[in-house]
Structure 1
Amino acid sequence: MTGRVTLVGGGPGDPGLLTVAGLDALRSADVVLYDHLVPLASLDECRAGVLLIDVGKLPGGRSTSQQRINELLIEHARAGRHVVRFKGGDPFVFGRGGEEVIACAEAGIAVEVIPGVSSSIAGPALAGIPITHRGVVQAFTVVSGHVPPGHAASTTNWGALARAGHTIVVLMGVANLAAICAELVAHGSPATTPAAVVADAWLPTMTTVRGTVGDIARVAAGVRPPAIVVIGDVAGLELAVTRPVAESSSQSPAVTEELRPARESDAGELLVLQRACWMQEALDNDSMDIPALHEDLAAVLTDLAQWETWVLRRDGRLIASVRARAHETDWDIGRLMVAADQSGQGIGRRLLEHIEAQAPSSVTRFALFTGHHSYRNQRLYAAAGYTVVDGADPLLPQIPITVRMVKPRGG
């Protein structure tokens, strides 16, 4: 007896966003072919003895060809099995679900499709970005960015999108973001148009980076896929939303993060954080002669205007920050700070890499100061490739109780 195939959309990554029908399909499956972006915890719902086959495609890594996936679906269905093809998001939104349905139909295999929540909508929603909003925009377009504008394989009319005034949601576009934004601007999209990148949507590691069409490729340079790009006026909205947690869930609520340029409204929390962090520096270096300990709110606001400052918020709380500015050919990095209860999680290294990525093209060296006896900080910077400067340096004056550390760009 011939079996059947069920295409199941797994949603954006949280098991709670898998549909009831999708969960039922998993529980009745004999074989599950799954991608790496599905909610893997949902596979625990499969019955004992189910055959689980990982057919995920990893960028630059292992990959199972679409032809081989089609062959596996047909092979197991012909053996009389119920085969579930478990995909992230929705099977028919850049998921090649249509190709699988056609292959099965040509082989005489019955196919059921269970839609999933697309990350193109769910990801921006958790970041407080509605892709349509009354009085702002009435339409949206979802496009693939896996090839850049002008590529032979690209069929997207970026010029039409630039002129349409719609929200543009780009999936698989992080690697080509600079080219995409340049194309939009070239066709009339204002460089000041709000833009946002939402990475790891609905996962504990979710991060949102905000900017404009003119600078989002630069400010999001450290973001890695999977990520969703939102371009349009709605990307400037930050609705106060939190992730829902099912009452029956035994898991702790997922942490949501937002990494973005600092605003004047962040100044108060920045002041509190820097005083807490630099008090430890004062103790380590046996000196209260540290400017960060003596600044007031007005000084913080002044610095925000003079430095490119980034803040990291976790569940709404400001937990870390870093800043930098160009000084001739140096990119001076400073005020890298992480709340004490958040240390040991790699946040400092992450922010350091992020602020390095913001440096303009004219920069040839990264430079920073840290306490002479701040050995933990020195280990962090040394691990990131920084070395101590001995002797005179025309761009780095000697400051009491500090050491100077530098790293060549690209080093």
Structure 2
Amino acid sequence: MNYTTQMDAAKKGIITHEMKVVSEKENIDVEIIRGLIAEGKIVIPANKNHKNISAEGVGQGLRTKINVNLGISKDCQNFDLELEKVRTAIEMKAEAIMDLSNYGKTEGLRKKIIDISPAMIGTVPIYDALGFYDKELKDITVDEFFDVVEKHGKDGVDFITIHAGINKETIETLKRNKRLTNIVSRGGSLLFAWMELNKKENPFYEYFDRLLDICAKYDMTISLGDACRPGSLNDATDASQIKELITLGELTKRAWEKNVQIIIEGPGHMPLNEIKANMLLQKKLCYGAPFYVLGPLVTDVAPGYDHITSAIGGAIAATYGADFLCYVTPAEHLRLPNLEDMKEGIVATRIAAHAADIAKGIPNAIDWDNEMSAARADLDWEGMIGLSIDPEKAKRYREESKPHDAETCTMCGKMCSMRTMKKILNGEDLNIIRD
């Protein structure tokens, strides 16, 4: 039987190669995977032209996945550094990479990223439009917007962020309900500006079926962008955010009718106590479609440490329903991240994702922690380092402060509780003072 997309295959009862890969990675029966893809509750972003992809599933009952943002800007145009980031992100087990390059001719960089990456690749086509056509935003035509989307599909992009939910109604809601930080989504603000400057409807909303046809052709997943995501705690869960979310739910059902896979993007900045309710609201309004969140950042006052504020929110969000976490680095709000910023962001987000997987009972998630605990009880330092989420840092810390007694560390020395319990339970002599 022929099929156009993973969702089309799933509805027809076809088990694809990608479904089998995800089934093996997740240790979940492939028929369960297929059934949830048919319902739209799991997606496998895998463009037909991304030949070396190692498929990953995102959605209900699966491990929480993480995304790494990178790409050049006008002020930082080092293609080689961004490719080094790609390679490092893959080594650090990121499941997705988004090329958010927003200056100049970046087609070559995008193609190289796709060529070398087994991770799924995402983009925001509107960023590319300005550099691709070398035109001011106001002068870009509807056809040109869609031609860029088509180009990204041909190149092998697996998922694209499209801010289709910011329509004229959403903008009127935004104008009536003043915000502290207005629209903080870069793609959302560009579309808002285009609409205002041209006095026209959002082309991705008005011609949504045209977008669906392009995505179906390449099996390119749409990540429905939240243009009105809150950019401050003050703006969280407000009328603009919810108005857009309702529209995204309506667009989701339209996409499923054409067998196009959908991810919903979410906040943003949000107080801790509002996160659980937002996860429930999204799942209800968008019919269980996978939820992709940036953070959420749980305080606005920690520039330089926003990987931490994001990981706190991300762990809570994923516990209560988010399926996909976009990493945030210490450089958020301050500069384009460098390689070390990226590493810190990946580690923080992986910690959040894993903590949430344990909380929501993902099969075998806690096994990793149990292995670490066993190594600690046995004072197996090599084992502990090997099991660490960041073995390089764990090894460096261990070697920077070496203990007098090799089986301990410089925190407790021979007063180490693990050492004490191991010796006493094994019937050994306990020498704390003497050598």
TM-score, L = length of structure 1: 0.28
Of structures 1 and 2, the one scoring higher in RCO (CA 8 A, sep 6+) is: 2
TM-score, normalisation: structure 2: 0.27
